[in-house]
């Protein structure tokens, strides 16, 4: 039987399958686990009809891919974007299985969403869509079954509408969604978690390698300008790094002076602009009204636009760093790349990084399933707080997040060192992508075998 083409899912499956080979050669019986785990336990597709402000009926496609529940209820975000399709959701859900395993919390993997575009819609239209969407989704989720969260296009407003709809439909208050408002079950540090967690992970990479002493004075490229990029940038600035770039779908904004990057106030202004669903061009006009601090590159990504770089953090969307751009990053002197986005680097880019890593003359690369697992980690902590009907302090949550990211790094590093069978050059470091994939896979596969999912 010929299956429909699913390029994003096929890409992530190839990446994971390739990096698992050193483990599978020593443990060939786990090939059967890989055959089983790559097929979702359940795929739900449904129609969403809603009424716009002109009284016209609109229709969208809704999805939930419940991929794996071996170590806990399905957990993963809901994405609202015109590009949403089954291939993208299967890729995200498959990654989510192993990402969630790396947090050490009891969460399975899933993903969902719709091809609905919230941009340009009124609050009333978004509310109507969310209620219609939850009208069907509520049949398939529950605090011990499947706990969605936000993703692209689903922020605090959308989560609140979805939570309100679920509460009305099911007549129950439960921790059915994470990323909720602080007054109705949300956790401190949840908005910051993915960005902060990314920096905590990179901090451990810095401790291991020898070329960069610390974040202080480090020149950092960040892509994206949404939640992940904003909080990663704020934490970088706090630690003394120089943030040289941000971007969105319209282009890239580059600091003109490599010694004077974005400020905390710049990030706050960008956050305000993004809340209004405006592009970075609005900030560029404001910022350069009286002083030319930034250079705008329409339709570009930041990776080829800066000559001297220490760290690159893709925080926008999938496949945002190509093989050619990876080569450009090496030429600019970049030492570390860590994904704040899911599958931010193409397979060609990862191969460029890994070849360089093996010789000790390239870039040390951290895959998103490890370096950006902080968001879902704090979602898991939100679930725990909801179950206990209590709320931890920001300091408690932040400390737990930091511990989770440091443990995820340690697992990726140690397993990567164990299975880096290639002849490493002097100064070479273990593969974090091999380590993360094997560590996450083995945890899930062992749970599946114990439960009789494969034998």
Q: Which among 39, 87, 89 is positioned nearest to 64, based on CA atoms?
A: 89
Q: Which residues contact 183 (CB under 8 A, 6 or more apart)?
A: none
Q: What is the dihedral sign for C-alpha 148, 149, 152, 157?
A: positive
Rounded-to-integer distance, Cα 406 and Cα 45, Å: 37
Rounded-to-integer distance, Cα 262 and Cα 246, Å: 9
104-114 per-residue burial string, b: 16 or more CB within 10 A, e: under 16 = bbebbbbbbbb
Residue-wise DSSP of 142-182:
BTTTEEEE--TT--HHHHHHHHHHHHHHHT-----SSS--G
Rounded-to-integer distance, Cα 281 and Cα 278, Å: 8
Instruction: Please calculate the CA angle 129-130-134 and round it to the nearest 5 degrees.
Output: 120
Rounded-to-integer distance, Cα 258 and Cα 283, Å: 19
First to last CA, the chain: 25
Q: Specify whether the backbone of 120 is left (phi greater than 0), alpha (psi in -120 to 50) or beta.
A: left
Rounded-to-integer distance, Cα 275 and Cα 287, Å: 17
Q: Which among 105, 141, 80, 90 is positioned nearest to 374, based on CA atoms?
A: 105
The burial of 249, by beta-carbon neighbours within 10 Å (0-12 exposed, 13-18 middle, 19 or more buried), is given as: exposed
149 DSSP β-pair partners: 77
Token pair in block for residue 289: 């009204």
Contact predicate 121/153, CB 8 Å: no
Rounded-to-integer distance, Cα 79 and Cα 13, Å: 21
Token pair in block for residue 385: 């707080």
If you ran DSSP here, which 8-state letter would residue 104 be given?
A: T
Residues with catalytic roles:
111
Exposure on the CB side of residue 396, measured as CA atoms within 13 A = 9
């Amino acid at each position: 039987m010929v299956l429909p083409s699913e390029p994003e899912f096929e890409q992530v499956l190839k990446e994971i399958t390739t990096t698992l080979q050193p483990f599978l050669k020593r443990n060939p019986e786990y090939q059967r686990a890989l055959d089983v785990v790559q097929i979702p336990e359940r795929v739900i597709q449904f129609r969403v009809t809603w009424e716009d402000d002109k009284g016209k009926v609109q229709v969208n496609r809704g999805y939930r891919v419940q991929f794996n529940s071996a170590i806990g209820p399905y957990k993963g975000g809901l994405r609202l974007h015109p590009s949403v399709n089954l291939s993208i959701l299967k890729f995200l859900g498959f990654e989510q299985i192993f990402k969630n395993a790396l947090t050490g919390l009891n969460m399975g993997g899933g993903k969902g969403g719709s091809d609905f575009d919230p941009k340009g819609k009124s609050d009333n239209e978004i509310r109507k869509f969310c209620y219609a969407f939850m009208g069907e989704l509520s049949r398939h989720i529950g605090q011990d079954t499947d706990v969605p969260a936000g993703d692209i296009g689903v922020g605090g407003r959308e989560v609140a509408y979805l939570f309100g709809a679920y509460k009305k439909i099911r007549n129950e208050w439960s921790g059915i969604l994470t990323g909720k408002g602080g007054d109705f079950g949300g956790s401190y540090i949840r908005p910051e978690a993915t960005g902060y967690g990314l920096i905590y992970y990179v901090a451990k990479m810095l401790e291991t390698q020898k070329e960069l002493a610390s974040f202080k004075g480090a020149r950092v490229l960040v892509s994206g300008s949404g939640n992940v990029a904003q909080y990663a940038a704020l934490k970088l600035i706090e630690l003394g790094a120089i943030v040289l770039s941000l971007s969105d779908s319209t282009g890239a904004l580059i600091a003109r002076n490599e010694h004077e990057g974005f400020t905390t106030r710049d990030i706050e202004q960008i956050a305000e602009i993004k809340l209004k669903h405006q592009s970075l061009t609005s900030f560029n006009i404001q910022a350069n009204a009286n002083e030319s601090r930034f250079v705008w590159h329409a339709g570009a990504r930041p990776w080829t636009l800066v000559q001297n770089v220490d760290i690159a953090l893709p925080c926008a969307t999938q496949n945002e760093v190509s093989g050619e751009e990876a080569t450009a990053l090496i030429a600019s002197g970049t030492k570390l790349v860590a994904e704040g986005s899911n599958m931010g680097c193409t397979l060609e880019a990862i191969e460029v990084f890994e070849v360089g890593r093996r010789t000790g003359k390239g870039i040390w690369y951290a895959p998103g399933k490890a370096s950006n697992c902080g968001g879902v980690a704090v979602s898991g902590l939100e679930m725990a707080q909801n179950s206990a009907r209590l709320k931890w302090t920001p300091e408690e949550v932040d400390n737990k997040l930091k511990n989770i990211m440091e443990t995820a790094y340690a697992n990726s590093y140690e397993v990567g060192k164990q299975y880096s069978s290639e002849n490493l050059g002097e100064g070479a470091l273990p593969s974090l992508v091999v380590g993360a994939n094997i560590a996450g896979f083995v945890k899930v596969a062992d749970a599946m075998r114990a439960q009789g999912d494969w034998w």
